C-alpha cells in the first residue's frame, strides 16, 4: 500500500503546530502496518537549504507563474518529495505569513501548487512510484482530491481536518488561475458563500474525511463548532470518522529525554520540578505547579486562565506558561507574571523548554474553547503531569476525569471541566489543589496517567484500515 501524505508542515523539518507532529509521526507508525507512506512538502528556504542528494521526478514548465519541479530525497528519516518552486516559496518570513505580518496574497496558489503536484503524482506516477491513496492535511492539501479527480487519477483520497478554523479562502475570480474545473464551482463544490474554499474542496471531493478525535468529528456537525461547514459535514456523515492523534513516544520519553536529568514519576519528578522552580524563580512551596505550552490565540482559552490565576496562586498554586501569538494575550501574561508571585511566563517558542515544563510540572492546563485533538495533554499523561482540560474535542476523548466514580474505580487520569468559562476553570483548579493535597490519591492519578496509551499503535491501524477501504488498484 503506497500513500502520499500531502502537507504544508512536517516535524522535525517545519512546524507551526500539531499538524507538523502528526505528519512527521505518521510514516513510521504506518510502516509498522505495512503502509509505505511518502510525504510531499513545499520547498521552503529552510528545507531547500538542508537538501542533500535529490532526483527530479516531475516537472511543470509553468505552474501559477513559474517553473516547478518535484525532487525526491530522504531527510530526517522521511521519504520526501519537495516541491521546488522559488516563485512561490523562496521568501522570508513564516511559512504562511509575510515578515511584516498577514497572509501572503497568493497563499491559495502556493498551496494549490503542492496539491497539484501531488495529484499529478497520483495520476502519472513519479519515477515509477504512484500512490494508491492521497492523504491530504487541512486546507493546504484541500485541492488535491479535486485535482486528482479532474486528472482522472483513480487514487483514493483522505482529507484530514486538523483544525476547521482555517479554510484557505480565495476570491471567486481566482478560480481560473487556480485551475479549478468549471464543474466544481457551485455550493456543492468549492464555493463557500461566493468565495473559493480549499478546505471545502477537500471535504467535498475526498473519498473519506477524518478528523483527529471522535468528539471533534461529532462537534463539527454542529453549528457551534462547524465554522460554517457543519452542513457539509452532516451531508458527508457516512464518510466521516475520528481517529485520535498519538505522540512520538521516542521524542517524548521521560526515561531518555535529554532535556531532563533523571525522571521517574511520581516520585522521581522531584528533580525536574526543583529545576523548574529554579529556572523560573518560582516561590518554594507544596502547592502544585501547573504548566501551559500553547499558541496564544482565542481558541486556547488562556484569557480564561488569566482570570482564574489570582485565586489559584492565592491558594499556593504555581503556573508556568510557554507560548506566543496574539499581542494582547502576550501582554496579559507578561503582566500576570510581573504582578502575581507564583506565575511565570516565557513568551516565545522553545522545544527543549517545553520538555522541561512537562517533566517538572505536576499538571498541564488546556482550557481550549475547541480542540480538535490537542497534544500537550498527551505529553502530560506520559510524564505524569496531570492534564486539566476543557471537556471538548480530543481533550474529552483522552482524559478521564477524577470524579468520584472514576476515583473509586481507580481509573482517573486528570480533570475535565465544562462549560469553558473562567468560573468552571477556577472550580477545576480548586479540585486540582484538593486532589494534590492527598498524596495517595495524587500518586494514583499520576500512575494512571502514565499508564494511559498515547502512542500511535491503535490509530495507525485505523488509518491503515481506512486506506485499504479506498485504495485504487494502481
Ligand atoms: P495546535 O496544533 O492547535 O497548536 P496542539 O496541542 O495540537 O495545538 O499542538 C501544539 C504543538 O506545538 C505541541 O507539540 C506543543 O508542544 C507545541 N508548541 C506550541 N507552542 C509552543 C511553544 N511556545 N514552544 C514550544 N512548543 C510549542
Residue 256 inside a domain? The answer is no
Calpha distance 24→39 (Å, rounded)? 9
Ligand 1 neighbour 349 (Cβ under 6 A): yes
Determine the pLDDT at residue 263: 66
Between CA 395 and CA 223 the distance in angstroms is 20
Q: Please indicate whether residue 377, judged by its CB atom, sits closer than 6 Å to ligand 1.
A: no
Answer yes or no: is 263 within a domain: no
Question: What distances in angstroms separate CA 105 from CA 55, 172, 201, one per listed residue?
Answer: 31, 14, 20
Task: Tally the domains of the chain.
Answer: 2
The pLDDT tens digits for 415-455 are 999 999 999 999 999 999 999 999 999 999 999 999 999 99
Residue-wise pLDDT tens digits, 113-163: 999 999 999 999 999 999 999 999 999 999 999 999 999 999 999 999 999
Q: What are phi and psi of 52, to 5 degrees?
A: -95, -120
Q: How many angstroms is it from 454 CA to the middle of ligand 1? A: 16
371 Cβ below 6 A of ligand 1: no
Task: Classify residue 261: in a domain, yes or no.
Answer: no
Please state, in angstroms and rounded to a whole number, the distance separating the CA atoms of residues 363 and 415. Answer: 10
What lies within 8 Å, CB to CB, of 84 at 6+ separation is 43, 48, 68, 69, 70, 71
The answer on pLDDT for 269 being more than 90 is no
Closest to 226 (Cα-Cα) out of 397, 375, 394, 370: 370
Q: Looking at the structure, do residues 462 and 425 belong to the same domain, yes or no?
A: no
Domain contains 81: yes
Question: For residue 177, with 0-12 CB atoms within 10 Å meaning exposed, 13-18 middle and 19 or more buried, which class applies?
Answer: middle
Distance CA 163, CA 373 (A): 9
The finding on whether 295 has its CB within 6 A of some atom of ligand 1 is yes
Confidence of residue 17 (pLDDT cuts 50, 70, 90): confident
Looking only at the bridges linking them, the beta strands covering 169-170 and 191-192 are: unpaired
Q: Are residues 45 and 66 in the same domain?
A: yes
Confidence (pLDDT) at 148: 98
What whole-number distance in Å separates Cα of residue 76 and Cα of residue 57?
A: 20
Burial 116-129 (b: 16+ CB within 10 A, else e): bbbbbbbbebbeee
Q: Is the CB of 380 under 6 A from ligand 1?
A: no
Written as one string, the DSSP assignment of 229-278 is -HHHHHHTGGGEEE------TTTS-TTT-TTSS---TTTTHHHHHHHHHH
> Which pLDDT score, from 0 to 100, does residue 433 have?
98
Considering the domain architecture, whether residues 213 and 284 belong to the same structural domain is answered as no
User: 21 CB under 6 A from ligand 1?
Assistant: yes
Which residues sit opposite 321 in a β-bridge? Answer: 292, 345
In short, whether 354's Cβ falls inside 6 Å of ligand 1 is yes
Residue 264 lies in a domain: no
Helix, strand or coil for residue 371?
coil
Cα distance between residue 288 and residue 373, in whole Å: 25
447: closest CA among 374, 406, 366, 386? Answer: 386
What is the span of the domain harbouring residue 306? 270-451
> At residue 267, does pLDDT exceed 60?
no
Q: What are phi and psi of 126, to 5 degrees?
A: -140, 120
Q: What is the pTM of this model?
A: 0.94
Question: What is the CA(376)–ligand 1 centre distance, in A?
Answer: 7
Average of per-residue pLDDT across 233-260: 93
**CA end-to-end span of the chain:** 10
Index of the ligand 1 atom closest to the CA of residue 15? 12
Kindly give the distance from the C-alpha atom of residue 175 to the centroid of ligand 1, in angstroms, as a whole number.
34
Residues 6+ away with beta carbon under 8 Å from 66: 85, 86, 87, 88
Position 98 in a domain: yes
Rounded to whole angstroms, how far apart are CA atoms 174 and 182?
Answer: 12
Mutate to test the pocket of ligand 1, among 16, 17, 244, 367 (most ligand atoms within 8 A of CB): 17
Q: For residues 175 and 230, state if they share a domain.
A: yes
Residue 300 Cα: closest atom of ligand 1: 3
183 with 289, same domain: the answer is no
Q: Is the CB of 17 under 6 A from ligand 1?
A: yes
Do 317 and 236 belong to one domain? no
State the pLDDT at residue 259.
Answer: 78
Residues 57, 68: Cα–Cα separation, whole Å: 11
Based on the fold, state whether residues 215 and 316 are members of the same structural domain: no
Q: Which atom of ligand 1 is nearest to the CA of 322?
A: 23
Residue 209 CA, ligand 1 centroid: distance in Å: 24
pLDDT averaged over the chain?
A: 96
Domain check: are 298 and 421 in the same one? yes
Q: Are strands 195-197 and 289-296 parallel, antiparallel or unpaired?
A: unpaired
| CB-CB contact of 272 with 360 (8 Å) | yes
Q: Are 275 and 326 within one domain?
A: yes
Residue 265: predicted pLDDT: 58
Centre of ligand 1 to C-alpha 295, Å, is 6
Q: Are residues 211 and 342 in the same domain?
A: no
Distance CA 377, CA 292 (A): 10
Residue in this structure with the C-alpha cell 473509586, named with its chain if needed: 408
Q: Which helix (H) or strand (E) holds 5?
A: strand 2-6
16 C-beta closer than 6 A to ligand 1: no
Are 281 and 339 within one domain? yes
Q: Which CATH number do you get for residue 79?
A: 3.40.50.2000
Helix (H, G, I), strand (E, B) or coil at 169: strand
**350 Cβ closer than 6 Å to some ligand 1 atom:** yes
CB-based burial label for 238 (10 Å; 0-12, 13-18, 19+): exposed
Q: Read off the pLDDT of residues 194-233 as tens digits, 9 standing for 90 and up.
A: 999 999 999 999 999 999 999 999 999 999 999 999 999 9
Ligand 1: distance of its center to the CA of 468 in Å?
31
Residue 351 in contact with ligand 1 by CB distance below 6 A: yes
Nearest residue to 36 via CA among 10, 2, 6: 2
Q: Ligand 1: which residue has its CA nearest to atom 17?
A: 17
pLDDT per residue as tens digits for the range 121-130: 999 999 999 9
Nearest CA to ligand 1 atom 20: 294
Mutate to test the pocket of ligand 1, among 94, 137, 293 (most ligand atoms within 8 A of CB): 293
Give the separation between CA 324 and CA 46, rounded to whole angstroms. 21
- Ligand 1: atom nearest CA of 379 is 16
Whether residues 277 and 240 share a domain: the answer is no
> pLDDT at residue 35 above 90?
yes
Amino acid at each position: 500500500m503506497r500513500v502520499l501524505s500531502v502537507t504544508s508542515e512536517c516535524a522535525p523539518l517545519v512546524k507551526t503546530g500539531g499538524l507538523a507532529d502528526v505528519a512527521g509521526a505518521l510514516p513510521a507508525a504506518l510502516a509498522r502496518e505495512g503502509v509505505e507512506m511518502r510525504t510531499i512538502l513545499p520547498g521552503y528556504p529552510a528545507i531547500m537549504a538542508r537538501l542533500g542528494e535529490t532526483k527530479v521526478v516531475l516537472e511543470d514548465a509553468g505552474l501559477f507563474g513559474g517553473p516547478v519541479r518535484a525532487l525526491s530525497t530522504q531527510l530526517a528519516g522521511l521519504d520526501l518529495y519537495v516541491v521546488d518552486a522559488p516563485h512561490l516559496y523562496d521568501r522570508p518570513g513564516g511559512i504562511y505569513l509575510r515578515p511584516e505580518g498577514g497572509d501572503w496574497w497568493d497563499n491559495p496558489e502556493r498551496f494549490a501548487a503542492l496539491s497539484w503536484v501531488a495529484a499529478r503524482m497520483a495520476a502519472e506516477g513519479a519515477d515509477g512510484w504512484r500512490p494508491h491513496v492521497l492523504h491530504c492535511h487541512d486546507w493546504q492539501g484541500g485541492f488535491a482530491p479535486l485535482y486528482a479527480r479532474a486528472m482522472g487519477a483513480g487514487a483514493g483520497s483522505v482529507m484530514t481536518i486538523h483544525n476547521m478554523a482555517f479554510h484557505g479562502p480565495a476570491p471567486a475570480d481566482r478560480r481560473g488561475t487556480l485551475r479549478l474545473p468549471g464543474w466544481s464551482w457551485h455550493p456543492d463544490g468549492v464555493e463557500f458563500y461566493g468565495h473559493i474554499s480549499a478546505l471545502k474542496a477537500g471535504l467535498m471531493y475526498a473519498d473519506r474525511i477524518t478528523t483527529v478525535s471522535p468528539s471533534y468529528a461529532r462537534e463539527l456537525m454542529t453549528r457551534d463548532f462547524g465554522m460554517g461547514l457543519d452542513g457539509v459535514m452532516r451531508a458527508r456523515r457516512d464518510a466521516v470518522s475520528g481517529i485520535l492523534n498519538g505522540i512520538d513516544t521516542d521524542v517524548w520519553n521521560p526515561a531518555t529525554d535529554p532535556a531532563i536529568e533523571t525522571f521517574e514519576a511520581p516520585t522521581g519528578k522531584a528533580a525536574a520540578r526543583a529545576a523548574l522552580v529554579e529556572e523560573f524563580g518560582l516561590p518554594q512551596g507544596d502547592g502544585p505547579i501547573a504548566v501551559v505550552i500553547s499558541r496564544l490565540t482565542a481558541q486556547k482559552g488562556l484569557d480564561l486562565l488569566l482570570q482564574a490565576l489570582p485565586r489559584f496562586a492565592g491558594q499556593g498554586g504555581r503556573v508556568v506558561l510557554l507560548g506566543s501569538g496574539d499581542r494582547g494575550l502576550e501582554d496579559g501574561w507578561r503582566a500576570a507574571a510581573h504582578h502575581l508571585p507564583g506565575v511565570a511566563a516565557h513568551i516565545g517558542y522553545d522545544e527543549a523548554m517545553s520538555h522541561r515544563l512537562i517533566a517538572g510540572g505536576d499538571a498541564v492546563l488546556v482550557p481550549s474553547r475547541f480542540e480538535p485533538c490537542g497534544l500537550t495533554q498527551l505529553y502530560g499523561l506520559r510524564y505524569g503531569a496531570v492534564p486539566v482540560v476543557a471537556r471538548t474535542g480530543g481533550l474529552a476523548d483522552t482524559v478521564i476525569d477524577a470524579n468520584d466514580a472514576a476515583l473509586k474505580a481507580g481509573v482517573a487520569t486528570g480533570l475535565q471541566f465544562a462549560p469553558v468559562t473562567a468560573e468552571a476553570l477556577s472550580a477545576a483548579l480548586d479540585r486540582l489543589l484538593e486532589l494534590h493535597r492527598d498524596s495517595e490519591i495524587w500518586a494514583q492519578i499520576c500512575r494512571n496517567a502514565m499508564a494511559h496509551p498515547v502512542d500511535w499503535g491503535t490509530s495507525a491501524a485505523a488509518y491503515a484500515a481506512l486506506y485499504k477501504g479506498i485504495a485504487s488498484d494502481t
